[in-house]
Amino acid sequence: EVQLVESEGGLVQPGGSLRLSCSASGFTFRDYPMTWVRQAPAKGLEWVSSISDSGRSTYYADSVRGRFTISRDNSKNILYLEMNSLKIEDTAVYYCARGFRADPFHYWGQGTLVTASS
Amino acid sequence: SYELTQPPSLSVSPGQTASIPCSGDELGDQYTSWFQQKPGQSPVLVIYEDNKRPSGVPERFSGSNSGSTATLTISGTQATDEADYYCQAWDNSLVVFGGGTKLTVL
């Protein structure tokens, strides 16, 4: 059974940093690209970032480019999202999902809430 | 930037057919996916590559995509289908989501 489990989010002051992780199981992690999607309170889905199966290629939404970094450890089956210079508008539930481009988003994690507030 | 437009809300009576449109420039030239999201839950893929259903998704869910509009159709809508629905496509190979449609079954 495919499982994606995000780490706990939290409350961070604007300008602060936080690293999210997503532990994957039930499939060969290194064979799939991975993606982060977020959802602000009472808003729609917003793509954040994706990474190729090897980790060599990364992609970012304009809203987070230069502040967020996606990475992965294929030896540990973990996906990461390093978030720096957090803004109030980054407040959202963050989901990790398996897939990108030719791979549809078949599987999603349960989501983790990140709140950027003073 | 590329935009996908969905109606914010739609209502359907139980047993009737719900058609949720998603419009975008030349959308028919690329694959579209659809996600169902119920309150407090993660999104669930219900249609991918325009008209394919993942295993476990009921046959009453179908999709089409032509011209500038992709459509998610739910035949014989049930109360359990009440949810938010999002279309998803691509902008220069990057992910784009529609704004979402809240489907009410009443």
In the beta sheet, which residues pair with residue B63?
Answer: B72
Using DSSP's 3-state secondary structure scheme, residue A65 falls into coil
Q: Which residues contact B56 (CB under 8 A, 6 or more apart)?
A: none
pLDDT bin (cut points 50, 70, 90) of residue A22 is very high
Please list every residue in chain A whose beta carbon sits closer than 8 Å to the beta carbon of residue B37. Answer: 45
Cβ of A59 and B88 within 8 Å?
Answer: no
Q: Is the pLDDT of residue A102 over 90?
A: no
Interfacial residues of B (vs A; Cβ cutoff 8 Å): 1, 33, 35, 37, 42-45, 48-49, 54, 84, 86, 88, 90, 93-100
pLDDT tens profile B71-94: 999 999 999 999 999 999 998 889
Question: In sequence order, what DSSP letters do the residues of B39-99 get, joined into one string?
Answer: TTS--EEEEBTTTBPPTTS-TTEEEEEETTEEEEEESS--GGG-EEEEEEEEETTEEEE--
**Closest residue of chain B to A36, computed from CA coordinates:** B95
pLDDT bin (cut points 50, 70, 90) of residue A93 is very high
Handedness of CA A5, A24, A77, A64 (dihedral sign): negative
Please list every residue in chain A whose beta carbon sits closer than 8 Å to the beta carbon of residue B48. Answer: 104, 106
